[in-house]
A = this chain, B = another copy of it.
């Protein structure tokens, strides 16, 4: 164990920040940290938009179901899959990479690349004492976000990251039992998985019960069954295709 790992293990998302703005040197340190993450085949298939304009931030709050901390923070980053620069690079070299970037494989590469970069940024921010939260709800209307941020074809917004000085100290939500996530050599059998899920249902039910004076008793299992019953953002496939991504 060391300080870095202690930080990782103590992570919790922060959804209320004190009034404060990041200075540009810190912004650049965070972006450089993001850029230092591994990237598939050196492609660096992501872009980061730093949203500094207050009006723009407010418009992103609307996309994100009114979550005020999308605007009220020290800085707001939007992470995107980005193959626009590869399209430009190919043109400089009198070539074309259009077929490559429109595959499902390229979608996976871009999403993973963006994830690795974002997590580096989050860890760098937390190591400096800031709190962070990922904002997946920007995908409620990815077309609107693309329009607001002037994203060209081959670029799609994935999620935001808000950074700020914590103004709350939330509890750490229990993660799945290690054995339900970590499998040795082969994926664990269904009987064992069901047992682990029941155990987790109890643990999370107790966790929620204690935090709501018993008003909420559903744990993770029932929560997932409810929250994932109706498919979300079913427009995504068509939207990606319009952006010339994930066509096959």
Contact = CB atoms under 8 A, between A and B. Distances in A.
Contacts of A136: 40-41, 109
A62 B109 CA distance: 21
Interface string A87-128: 011101111110111111111110111111011101110011
A32 to B, nearest CB: 6
B183 A49 contact: yes
Given A136-B41, A193-B85, A29 B49 contact: no
Q: What is the copy number of this chain in the assembly?
A: 2
Contact of A246 (B104, B178, B183, B193): B104
Contacts of A70: none
Interface string A149-169: 111100100110000000000
19 contacts: A2-B127, A4-B124, A5-B127, A8-B124, A32-B178, A40-B136, A44-B176, A52-B184, A85-B197, A89-B225, A92-B201, A93-B225, A95-B226, A100-B228, A100-B230, A104-B240, A105-B233, A108-B158, A123-B123
